[in-house]
């Protein structure tokens, strides 16, 4: 008798489906799994999303919407909505879930295995050594101060460079980011937003010569291992 296919629940902090990153993840997961997506902002109109925007002192997150646009939201506004999506996916039969955001969230409740990208990235980096500084690609200039503070608090000496994952198709933006990483003596880089893609990693790596980690691909590899693939 055939074992049932694993059902993987993917939760974006924006709106599902994430046609920008999930196909690359599926390349790693391969056949034999069922993927179901849900978004913290699913069903919300733009005016409702705008009311979730960051205020003074809020931690800033940026995410993709179903229409291909993007939105800045406050972490405190979306966290309860993420928790609700985890519960919904589990009730619907998900055997494990994964968060599609590299932000530092509190431990989210889950009845089944849950993959959170930020501690996965930290665990990998703490097991590596490399020459030079750690380069961190963050999705906007607005993110730079909080991203630098978070990585320093985690014990790293980061060179934080803004690059929007929603402007990756602009070669000049990628070149500027690569120039900044090279000038800062970066020996390893991490793309600190789930929206960054394999193609941009390949471009940056070619321009800088530094190994570059893509969060969504790393999460996909962890999921594959948990599924015994």
Neighbour order of strands in the sheet with 114-115: 34-39, 7-12, 96-100, 114-115
pLDDT of residue 107: 84
pTM: 0.94
Band of residue 178 on the pLDDT scale cut at 50, 70, 90: very high
DSSP string, 79-141: HHHHHHHHHHHHHTT-SEEEEE--S-PPPPP-SS-EE-HHHHHHHHHHT---SSEEEEEESSG
With 0-12 / 13-18 / 19 or more C-beta atoms within 10 angstroms meaning exposed / middle / buried, residue 131 is exposed
Tell me: pLDDT of 1 over 60. no
List CB contacts of 163: < 8 A, sequence separation 6 or more.
Answer: 137, 138, 139, 173, 174, 176, 177, 196, 200
- The token duo for 109 is 């409740």
Handedness of CA 179, 183, 187, 190 (dihedral sign): negative
pLDDT at 215 exceeding the cut of 80 = yes
Report the percent of the chain where pLDDT is more than 70. Answer: 98
Crossing angle of helices 198-208 and 171-183, in 10° steps, is: 50
Q: Which of the four pLDDT bands, split at 50, 70 and 90, describes residue 168?
A: low
What is residue 166's predicted lDDT score, i.e. its pLDDT?
80
Kindly report, residue by residue over 95-114, the tens digit of the pLDDT.
999 999 999 998 899 999 99
Q: What is the pLDDT of residues 191-200, one digit of tens each?
A: 999 999 999 9
Average model confidence (pLDDT) across the chain: 96
pLDDT bracket for residue 6 (50, 70, 90) = very high
Q: Which domains, ranges and CATH numbers included, belong to the chain?
A: 7-116+217-226 (3.40.50), 120-214 (3.40.50)
pLDDT at 28 over 70: yes
């Amino acid at each position: 008798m055939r074992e049932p296919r694993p059902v993987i629940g993917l939760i974006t902090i924006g709106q599902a489906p994430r046609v920008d990153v999930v196909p690359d993840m599926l390349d790693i997961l391969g056949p034999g799994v069922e993927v179901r997506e849900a978004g913290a902002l699913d069903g919300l109109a733009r005016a409702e999303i705008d009311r979730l925007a960051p205020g003074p002192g809020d931690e800033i997150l940026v995410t993709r919407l179903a229409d291909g646009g993007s939105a800045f939201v406050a972490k405190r506004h979306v966290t309860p909505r993420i928790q609700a999506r985890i519960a919904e996916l589990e009730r619907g039969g998900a055997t494990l879930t994964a968060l599609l955001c590299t932000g530092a969230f509190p431990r989210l409740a889950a009845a089944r295995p849950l993959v959170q990208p930020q501690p996965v990235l930290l665990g990998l980096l703490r097991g590596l050594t490399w020459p030079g500084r750690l380069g961190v690609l963050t999705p906007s200039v607005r993110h730079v101060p909080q991203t630098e503070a978070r990585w320093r608090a985690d014990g790293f000496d980061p060179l934080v460079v803004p690059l929007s994952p929603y402007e990756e198709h602009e070669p000049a933006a990628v070149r500027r980011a690569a120039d900044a990483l090279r000038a800062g003596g970066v020996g390893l880089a991490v793309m600190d937003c789930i929206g960054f893609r394999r193609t941009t990693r390949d471009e940056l790596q070619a321009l800088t010569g530094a190994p570059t980690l893509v969060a969504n691909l790393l999460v996909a590899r962890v999921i594959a291992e948990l599924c015994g693939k």
